[in-house]
Each structure stands twice: as structure tokens, then as C-alpha cells.
A and B are shown apart, each in its own frame.
Chain A
Amino acid sequence: MTNTNENSKTHSARSQEPGSSRLIFSMAIAGFISGIIIISIYILTFDTIKENKARELREAVFKVLPNVSTMQKLHFSEDDSGADNKKLMVVKADGMDDEMMFAGYDQQGKFIGYAIQGKGPGFQDTIHVLFGYLSSRKNITGMEILDSRETPGLGDKIFKDMDFVGEFINLPMVKNIKAVKKGKKSKDNEIDAITGATISSKAVVRIINKAFNKWSPRLPQQGNEPVLAKTVVTKESGER
């Protein structure tokens, strides 16, 4: 990179100094061609990518909420000027942000539970967690790690160790859950931490507690759950 100037000198000595219109022209041509290529590949891959992403999310939601066959995304907004003064509204937009969660429904379209996401610091880096919650029974129905950079072989047991993941199935969530050392579990709301990954285990539990405490006051009364909108995501297909 350092000898750029030198090279350009020798080059320009050989060829004629091009006019600035030619510079702009060639840049424009390049930009144009590159634009075409980029947009073509974007269009070519758009559907697949979108579907991949949707599938990934869907699978996660269906995993943490059993017996669910359709889901929809809900968005919470502080200002309740929206339709029906509802703070929690069904959205269809792509992408996710911190103020979104999911509602899951069975084949008949009956509401089953929520899938809530949370994130927080783990041993190495931020851990993203998704967990299912049955408001009727005040139960956590499952937990899935969406993203983490925990140590392979140690911290990654939070999603590889099925015993640990299994502890979040049908876990009563009345007050905060708690991680204790492996084998020390004595109460319903306690989780056996993974040996050698106590910190990651505790982080998962803390993230769930935090997300739960954020969302539980936002949830509507029982029986008032958002109804299934017309376009929804089902188990079989992507969009319908």
C-alpha cells in the first residue's frame, strides 16, 4: 500500500493523464455493475435467507413451547395510542428487537403460551436465550440458547447438556428461579448448575429471571391473550 504513489507516477508517465470526466465515468460504470451484481444476488437469495431465518426462529419457538403449531410475533410499545389501546400488538415485520416476543397456538388456533427472549452477559460474551412460558400454569416449558460464545466443552453445555436443558421443562415460575451447585437442588424453583460451568448456568438463570420480570407485568390477563391473526406461521409451511 505504501508504494501506491510511486506506482501511479510510473503508470501515468506511460499513459496519458485521463480527464476527470473519465474518472467519474469509470467509477460510475463500476458502481453500476457492482450494484447490478449485488442486487441480483440479493434478489436471488432473498427468499431462502428469509426462510432460513424464519425457520430457525420457528423451530426454536416450537421447541420451547410444546404442542404448538402456529405462532405470531408480538410487539410491546409504551405508548398505548395504538388500536384498542393495546400495548401488546401482533406485528408482521421482519427482524427482532428487545420489545418483541412470541405467542404460540395449537392446531385449533387456541392460545397456549408465550416464547420470551432475553439476553445478558455470560462467561465470555452475551448469551441470547429463548424460553417458553405457560401463563395459565405459571410454568416454564423449555429453554433454548439462540446465541452464545461460551467456552466449548464447558460453557457450551448450557445447550449441549440435555440434563441441564431438561431442567427447564415444566419448571414452576412463581418467584425467581435459582441455580445451585449440582446435586444441591432442594426446592422446586431450583436448577442444578453444570459442574465446571456454574457461571454460565447462573447466567442463563439470571437472564431468564430478568426477562420474565420484564415481561410478566406486560402480559394481558388470562383469557385476554392476543388472538391468532389471519396470516400466521405454522409448523409446516413458512408464511400462509
Chain B
Amino acid sequence: MSNFFSLGRLFSLGNSFSHGVHPRHHKEQTENLPIQRVPFVSRYIMPLGQHIGVPAEPIVKVGDVVQRGELIARPKGFISTALHSPVTGKISDIGMHRYVDGSFKMAIEIAADPYATQQFIKIQTNSTNVRDMDIAEFIDAVQMSGIVGMGGAAFPSHVKYAIPDEQQITDLLVNGAECEPYLTNDHRLMVERPEAVLRGSEILRRQLGADRVAIGVEKNKPESITQLKKYLTTDMAIDIVPLEVKYPQGAEKMLIKSIYNKELPAGKLPRDIGIAVNNVGTIVALADYFDHGMPLIERIVTLAGPGVHEPANLIVPIGTPIRDVLDFAGGLKEQTREVISGGPMMGTPIADLDAPILKGTSGILAFTENETSRPREYPCIRCARCLEACPYFLNPSRLALLGKARLFTEMQDKYHVMDCVECGACTYACPSNIPIVQHIRTAKDNLRNRKAESH
């Protein structure tokens, strides 16, 4: 009943963008739980293509013994990244394995050595100190570290740092918004390892030649803000920027709007206006890599949702089957209906619990009847809530109607469907329970295929 009258919305709170939605954040389940490490399990699956771009190329064969941290697949081309073994053990298979969406993808399976110490081997970089690297060396090093964006898209990070000569980065934006409900992995990272966040930011700022760093954090994470501020010293060119709690505050363009009040033109990248954006998780991975030589072999995953017995924030070796991680947290409740990888707004449903945790998996959320049952779909009553939700000022109502009628070209030409980032705010806001994003995804797929065919 607290939402019965929504007066609070009349007042604007903190730095922000226009439109967007205010789902309940549900972070109380996990926001105060310290990060734990999950024990090693017997079997790991490393899909070769768990990042955007070209899949990596295996350099091991079945039967090889690998150390934790050892390179097992190398990047194939520039938009590709390295893969390291998350565990000490033996390569048991290279072949098709289950992926989260239920399909089969090429992966390397590793049987863990139950008796190994699981010490990781450090990656050797050309210069021992990042301070001495030039940007080209830095980019190579990042590519070989296997670091990808941890903010969801899993885009190989080194590609972002390859700035064309005529461009100059002036600002580094660290994304600690974590606007997705339930997820607290970025939050815990900022609370528990603020020095790593700050240090990683400084490393990247120097390498990119940016003037300042801004770390944007939503106001519902006061502890993150105080922790970061506590470790902030005057010699760091870093600002901590509190942001209004609003979804999708963490989306790159929205964040840039909120912090710099700049509107990133459609079809442009942040670097075109002198900004580089990275998730805090990515930043910490960079810090760990350059300070300790640790490649991206584990990440923090939030386990939450009403279907999980013991919600937690866990350090999980990449490649751990999801079922094992869930079992560590007491398993799923009987009432669980759906398990999601990522946040409830943009995440993807998991079709098979035997699929592994990936570099981009920020959370495993389990939901029950309560969240998944829907009133039936009603016709669009043109209430305009989706328009007022869409941070990109698209017309989701129209897009859904056109999508239903399969008028894809009109969606593109007149209503710019391709500008949609599929944030789901419109669908969240729709009282008629219309699967707007689904219609949009179908249209986008269709248009992309058509374009591909015509080339």
C-alpha cells in the first residue's frame, strides 16, 4: 500500500536522467552479506565464446594437465580474448557443452584435481610494472588477461581502450550504479575492496590519458559511497558521484547523461565524446591483474531471489556449473519456477542448471510463482506509461503494436527500433502485461537478418 499514492516521484532525487522506472530494489537480501568463496568442485566448463566477438581458440588438447590461471585458449583476432583455466586439473573434453540458454556451444571441460593447491600461476607481462607500459603494450596485456566487461555485455575490454589517434579520452566513467534489483555484487566489491576500485581506476585513467575519473553509485548504496570516499586520497583525480535510484541508471548513455549532462548521439560510442566507461567489476579485475598477475578466472556472483535458500555473494571460479553454486547456497526451494542469469530486468532465463557460470554472469536469481505468474495479457490501452518509462524516448506502445503486425521496416524507419537497448523499462511499466521487449527483440533480429542477407 505504500505505493498507493506515488507522491515521492514529484521530487527529483540526485543526479539523473529523464524517464526510467522505479522498481523495488530488493537488495536487502544480500547487500550486507560479505563475499564468500565457493569451494572447488570436480568439473568446470569453459565455453570458448562467452564474450562478444570471435570465440577463443583452444591451445590445449584432451588429456593435457593445466594449472589454475594457465592459458587454455588464445584470442582469435582483435575482437576476441584469452581464456584461462579456472582450476588445476586435466582437460577431459573439448566439444559441445550446454550453454545457459539450453543450446550447445563449443567448450573446454576440465576435471579438477582434488588434491591440487589451486595456487594460480601469474601471467607474465612484458613490463613488470604497468607504469612503464605504453598503451599498445597495455592493450595487449589486457587482451591476454581475458578481461571482458563485467557490466553485463561481456565486451572484450581491451577493444575499448584502443582509441583512434584523432580521439582523446578526457573522462573515465566507472559504473557502480548497479541499478538492477536483487544484485549486490558490485556493491559488495565497492564495500570490501574500495582500494582496488580506486587503484584500478587510477591505472586505467593514466593509461587512457584521461583527466578525471567519476565513479557513479546509486544512492541506495550509502556504504559503498562512504567506503570509497574513505580510501580516496587527494592525489587521485577521482570523484564519487551519488546517483538517483532509478532504473536503468547503469546504462551507459544514461550514466553519461546523469553525470556529465551530455547526450550521447545515437550510433556513437562514448569515446566519440571523450568518455570511457567501465563497470567497477572490470576495474577491480584490471587492478588484480596488474597488481597480482591474476587473469580473469573468477568473478563475484550474487545468488538471490525468493527461490534461493541462502542468498549470498560468492567468488565463483568461471566455469563452475550453476547447479554446484546453487547447492553451495543450500539449493533451490521447491517453489522455484524460473532461474535467471543476471538481473531480473535484463537477465536471461537459464534453461539448464548444468550450464556454467560465465565471465559475464553477475547473478543467479531464482524466482517463484509470485514473480513469474502474470495476469493475462490485456490489449494496449495507450496509457503511455511505457513512453514515460523509456529512457531513450522511444514509443514502445507503437513498437509493440507494429511488432505484432510484423511491420518491421516501419518500426525501423519511423520509430527507430534499433535505438532500443532492451532495458525492459517499458515492459516493467506496462499495466496490460504486454511483452513489449519481446516484440522489439523479434523485430531487431528480423531486421538484422534482413540486413545480413542483403549484404
A and B touching (C-beta < 8 Å)? Answer: no
Q: Please give the residue numbers on chain A whose beta carbons come within 8 Å of chain B beta carbons, in ascending order.
A: none
Q: Please give the residue numbers on chain B whose beta carbons come within 8 Å of chain A beta carbons, in ascending order.
A: none
